[in-house]
């Protein structure tokens, strides 16, 4: 029976989208709609289980018909320390997952779990057990650890561990239990692979033999829990490495045909992870469609796929064309946990669309809770009690003046407006967006403008938020405005000095040296090549500017103290693609070097190890090193506060306070809005999950 609110919501939605809210049968269980949050890591898992459970529960509240865990370790002989994933080694782990399934079931959604044995993918830093794999190989991590080849007893044990994990999952309340064979990250996919499996027995050689263990685990799982739980397989049908891997026209398709109707659901994608979760810089929405289109043609079972889908029209097209039965999402469900509800309620314009930046992915690599550029509440649902769609009303009938319409100022204005404050947003330029406008115009980053577009639209609908463009303010004007609270969000600018991580003093330069700041290059300054770009920032900006300059026809050399270009983008799954693109474009990359002097015709570079120097041609030098806060107005206002009666509160936020990522700027604006009116506390402003001391007698 439909709940009353579901009936009201259905009456408001566009009938074109009715098909998205049809139920789908997955073995013995049925979804409430076609929105499916596929398994995704979150940096919480077994370390921060309350945060993990609350985050998943909010997804269910937001309308995702199925909400899944991240990958979940099933045995101590395969654990991912320090990476934080789920852990289901024994019954002691059940309460963590029972809390999660209760949160999901509370909103009428199904809970899915992805048990996993990682094999070659982990060195077992915590358990200190010798890893196991189909064949003897060094583990995927650079640790000096080698996995031993599994014998028949090991294989029987592994099958038993999967069955035990499935039974525990059922007791924990899960409705869908996965058999995970994708992303080249687990023993089942390693057995399938000719790269990792050179066995000579019935588990090696032919594809039928290499798929034997996967077939056995699928059958074992169905026998163990298939009476009440749906059994899904997650499988990467295309590894995008030609004949060296699985392909959707070759062995990837063969595996699907071989196992077609054994599982209750096919969750299909491309492999490995850096292909499956490509950023918007390298892939458009729906980039996996062609690779997985065949699956529905060879199985009678429902199919879920992903592709960073945010458009409901695209979703409908995928269903009506017969390509998919369920719309899978990881990143779009992070950017907007209420995406399905907004479609159901006829509020498509309120969707916070994923920008494909992969800040969320960095949580896994940095072993820290999940973050999102578009959704500042992500990871804070339990810690701070932040909800993505609800915010406390204003604490008093007060007004706020925000100076600066970049990502931080925009989010502060949006959230303060939602609380009911009278808000005035003053922007010195002719457009709102700040750094997002500049960066969104750079190669591959157009989707990032969604950060500004979403917030600009939201505040345009609020009668209590006024926006003034081309309105640079002086300190006197700020104070004469008479607001109760003043927020300075004037951003930051890139330094020209070269000071940064490697150089603690400005880089020496000769008279006539031509040095351009990042903003000048991005805004189309006249440039004379050859260009030397010094990347001591290590995120995306250095590589993007090098690409821009090369597209303009300049000879470009990127110098970096790190061993790779755009080094930190390893955490966003982009580094290899960035380096390959730069090399393919003919951009020179000089790693492990510092820039020590800038001349009119050359730049002197020095090896970071030997300090040996050499000159390279350089007529324009672009340092991508650090940014300085634009904080003059803040200090000028602060200096006058003591001279005035009834002075407003004064706060600086975002890059003006501490330059960082766009995600950090959005978070800062949101945090200010949430905390306005709350009494100051000396304690940590969030709840912590503390470890429980073990019983010394056990």
Mind spelling out the 3-state secondary structure of 105-132?
HCCCCEEEEEEECCHHHCCCCCCCCCCE
Supply the DSSP string of 269-327, one letter for each residue. EESSHHHHT--TTT--TTTTHHHHTTHHHH-SS-EEE-S----HHHHHHHHHTTS-SEE
**CA nearest 423: which of 399, 459, 403?**
399
Side-chain-facing half-sphere of 324: CA atoms under 13 Å:
28
Q: What is the pLDDT of residues 666-694, one digit of tens each?
A: 999 999 999 999 876 667 889 999 887 87
Annotated active-site positions, please?
A: 41, 180, 183, 276
d(CA 353, CA 375): 9
* Structure tokens, 294: 């065949």
The pLDDT of residue 7:
47
d(CA 50, CA 649): 35
What pLDDT, in 10s, does the model give residues 562-608? 999 999 999 999 999 999 999 999 999 999 999 999 999 999 999 99
Domain ranges of the chain: 4-366, 399-441+448-471+630-675, 494-627
DSSP conformation class of 505: S
Fold of the 4-366 domain: TIM Barrel (3.20.20)
Scan for tokens 């189309």, then name that residue.
Answer: 524
Residue 375 and residue 355 in contact, taking contact as beta carbons nearer than 8 Å? no
Nearest of 606, 597, 605, 588 to residue 529 by alpha carbon: 588
**Which residues, 6+ apart, have CB-to-CB distance to 563 below 8 Å?**
591, 592
Residue 354 and residue 300: Cα distance in Å, rounded? Answer: 32
195, HSE (Cβ side, Cα atoms, 13 Å) = 15
How far is the C-alpha of 510 from the C-alpha of 686, rounded, in Å? 51
Characterize 377-413 residue by residue with b for buried, 16 or more Cβ atoms within 10 angstroms of its Cβ, and e for exposed: bbbbbbbbebbbeebeebeeebbbbbbbbbbbbbbbb
The tokens for 222 are 């169905």
Structure-token pair, residue 586: 């003919």
pTM: 0.96
Quick one: pLDDT at residue 280? 97
**Tokens linked to 441:** 């115009």
Distance (Å, whole) CA 123 – CA 323 = 39
For residue 292, the Cα-to-chain-centroid distance in whole angstroms is 22
Residue at token pair 């687990």? 186
Give the pLDDT means over successive 10-residue stretches in the chain (698 positions).
Answer: 46 90 98 98 96 98 98 97 96 97 98 97 96 96 95 98 98 98 94 96 98 98 98 97 93 97 97 95 96 97 97 98 98 98 97 98 96 98 97 97 98 98 98 98 97 98 98 97 97 97 97 97 95 98 98 98 98 98 98 98 98 98 98 97 89 98 98 91 82 72
CA distance 49 to 99: 9
pLDDT of residue 4: 40
CATH no. for 494-627: 3.50.50.60
Residue with tokens 């060296």: 244
- CATH fold label, 399-441+448-471+630-675: Rossmann fold (3.40.50)
């Amino acid at each position: 029976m439909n709940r009353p609110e579901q009936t009201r919501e259905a009456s408001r939605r566009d009938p074109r989208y009715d098909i998205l809210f049809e139920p789908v049968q997955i073995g013995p269980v049925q979804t409430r709609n076609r929105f499916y949050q596929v398994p995704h890591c979150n940096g919480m898992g077994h370390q921060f289980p309350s945060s993990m459970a609350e985050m998943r529960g909010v997804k269910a509240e937001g309308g995702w018909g199925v909400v899944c865990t991240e990958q979940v370790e099933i045995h101590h002989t395969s654990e991912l320390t320090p990476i934080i994933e789920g852990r289901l080694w024994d019954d002691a782990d059940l309460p963590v997952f029972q809390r999660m399934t209760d949160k999901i079931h509370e909103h009428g959604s199904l809970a899915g779990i992805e048990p996993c044995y990682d094999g070659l993918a982990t060195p077992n830093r915590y358990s200190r057990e010798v890893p196991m794999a189909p064949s003897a190989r060094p583990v995927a991590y650079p640790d000096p650890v080698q996995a031993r080849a599994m014998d028949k007893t090991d294989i029987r044990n592994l099958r038993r561990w999967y069955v035990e994990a499935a039974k525990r999952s059922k007791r924990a309340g899960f409705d869908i239990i996965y058999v995970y064979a994708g992303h080249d990250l687990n023993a089942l996919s390693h057995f399938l692979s000719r790269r990792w499996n050179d066995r000579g027995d019935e588990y090696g050689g032919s594809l039928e033999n290499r798929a034997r263990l996967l077939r056995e685990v699928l059958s074992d799982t169905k026998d163990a829990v298939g009476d009440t739980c749906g059994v899904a397989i997650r499988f990467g049908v295309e590894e995008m490495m030609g004949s060296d891997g699985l392909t959707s026209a070759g062995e990837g398709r063969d595996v699907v045909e071989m196992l077609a109707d054994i599982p209750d659901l096919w969750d299909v994608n491309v492999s490995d992870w850096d292909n499956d979760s490509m950023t918007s810089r390298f892939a458009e929405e729906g980039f996996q469609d062609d690779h997985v289109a065949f699956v529905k043609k060879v199985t009678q079972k429902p199919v879920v796929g992903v592709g960073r889908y945010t458009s409901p029209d695209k979703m409908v097209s995928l269903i009506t064309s017969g390509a998919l039965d369920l719309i899978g999402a990881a990143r779009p469900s992070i950017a907007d946990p209420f995406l399905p509800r907004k479609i159901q309620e006829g509020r498509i314009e309120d969707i916070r669309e994923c920008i494909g930046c992969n800040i969320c992915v960095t949580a896994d690599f940095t072993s820290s809770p999940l973050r999102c550029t578009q959704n500042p509440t992500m990871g804070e649902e339990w810690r701070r009690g932040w909800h993505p769609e609800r915010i406390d009303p204003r604490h008093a009938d007060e007004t706020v003046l925000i100076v600066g319409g970049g990502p931080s100022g925009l989010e502060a204005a949006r959230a303060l407006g939602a609380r009911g404050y009278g808000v005035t947003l003053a922007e010195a330029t002719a457009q709102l967006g700040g750094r997002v406008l500049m960066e969104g115009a750079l190669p591959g980053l157009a989707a990032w403008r969604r950060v500004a577009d979403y917030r600009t639209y939201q505040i345009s609908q609020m009668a209590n938020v006024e926006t003034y463009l081309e309105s640079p303010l002086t300190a006197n004007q700020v104070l004469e405005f008479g607001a109760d609270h003043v927020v300075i969000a004037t951003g930051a600018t890139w330094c020209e000095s070269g000071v940064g991580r490697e150089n603690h003093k400005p880089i020496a330069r000769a008279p006539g040296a031509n040095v351009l700041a990042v903003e000048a290059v991005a805004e189309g300054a006249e440039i004379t090549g050859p260009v030397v770009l010094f990347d001591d920032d290590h995120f995306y900006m250095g590589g993007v500017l090098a690409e821009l300059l090369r597209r303009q026809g300049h000879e470009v050399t990127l110098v970096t103290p790190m061993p790779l270009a755009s080094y930190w983008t390893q955490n966003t799954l982009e580094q290899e693609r960035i380096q390959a693109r730069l090399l393919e474009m003919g951009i020179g990359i000089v790693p492990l070097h510092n820039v020590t002097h800038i001349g009119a015709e050359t730049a002197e570079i020095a090896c970071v190890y030997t300090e040996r120097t050499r000159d390279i041609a350089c007529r324009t030098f672009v340092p991508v090193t650090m940014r300085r806060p634009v904080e003059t107005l803040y200090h000028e206002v602060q200096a006058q506060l003591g001279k005035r009666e009834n002075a407003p509160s004064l706060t600086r936020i975002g890059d003006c306070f501490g330059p960082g990522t766009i995600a950090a700027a959005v978070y800062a604006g949101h945090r200010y809005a949430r905390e306005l009116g709350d009494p100051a506390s000396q304690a940590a402003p969030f709840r912590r999950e503390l470890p429980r001391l073990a019983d010394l007698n056990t």
